[in-house]
Amino acid sequence: MGQVVVISTGGTIASRWQGSGFAADARGGDVLATAAVPDGVTVRVVDLMSVNSARLTTADQLALLRTVHEVLADPDVAGIVVTHGTDTLEESAFFVDLHHGDPRPVVFTGAQLPLEDPNGDGPRNLHDALLTAASVRDLGVLVVFDGQVHAARGTIKVQTLAADAFADPSGSRVADVGPSGVVIHRRPERPEPLPLPAADGPLPRVDVVMHHCDADTLLFDAAVGAGAQGVVLVATGAGNATPEIAAAVAGAASRGVLVAVTTRVPSGSVAEIYTHGGAVDLVAGGAVLTGTLRAGQARIAVLAATLAATDPAARAEALRRALGAPAPAADAHGASLANA
């Protein structure tokens, strides 16, 4: 099958008891030693970091992205497995997927139980991830957990503690891993990859603000005032807020802040249906709807867009490209209706 490179970043799969709780401290070789390696697969380990994934930063995710690209520069590598904490795995996997154009897979996995638990799920997950990385092609970045293979895009953590931790609430899984190997059910549609971000320069601030009953513009305005170059509004329903928040969104967008709208509803797409502060008004004010992406991945899409360009219009176009969305419609004079 070939060589698979395991990039170790920490998480529960690498966690040991610290006296008051668990924390990541094991090296990748220790994690690999718990799993059965599929026949015909050779493994090389890259110890990138060992942290609980709630602590990850944009700088860490950029380091992971660049490491993935460096590893894939070797034509002898059949695929990559990234061991990662489950808290933010959905964000890192999607970030890598947005910049991934290689036919070889990058497979994220982890565990819900710590390294030395006798009933731990890490060994099976790692075995399945190695098998997937060595045997599939042209599926993009994947998440392998509990015998299931998910596309990175749209897949989120849906269980805090249970073994079947990941799913796409708005879509179906890509494959299953069983005794006969990896059985593929569908091939995910993916937009063209974004270019690899520059290796230097300041990292943009991108914030997430949630709408709720009695919500005003205080937190949204605070994010913009703190220097956010992008803001994700987690709206209600199909993408709705209030006239006051819609006005704040329009004001921020006019100053070059990239605003994206998702929803706090578990599944389904955001859509332009309602006015009086709904998605119709938010889009008219310059916001971009994120389809079925939820808050964490919507933020990653905005982050990737702000890293891809500096001009506000170019950033909005990069965000639509990341979302696989068409450009906004234009009126008879060629002006964007989204900004009319």
Residues contributing to the annotated binding site for substrate? 53, 86-87
Distance between start and end Cα atoms, the chain: 55
The secondary structure of residue 336, as a DSSP letter, is B
* Residue ranges of the binding site: 53, 86-87
The position carrying tokens 């998480």 is: 11
Instruction: For residue 273, count other CB atoms closer than 10 A to its CB.
Output: 12
**131, 299, 105: which is closest to 190 by C-alpha?**
105
Rounded (to 5) percent helix, strand, coil in the chain: 30, 25, 45
Q: Which amino acid is at 277?
A: G
In which region does residue 26 sit, left (phi positive, over 0), alpha (psi from -120 to 50) or beta (all else)?
beta
Catalytic residue ranges: 12, 86
Q: CA 51 → CA 21, 22, 65, 68, 141, distances in Å?
A: 14, 11, 16, 18, 21
Q: Buried b / exposed e across 302-311, counting CB within 10 Å, b at 16+?
A: bbbbbbbbee
Tell me the C-alpha distance between 142 and 150, whole Å: 6
Tokens encoding 304: 């990737």
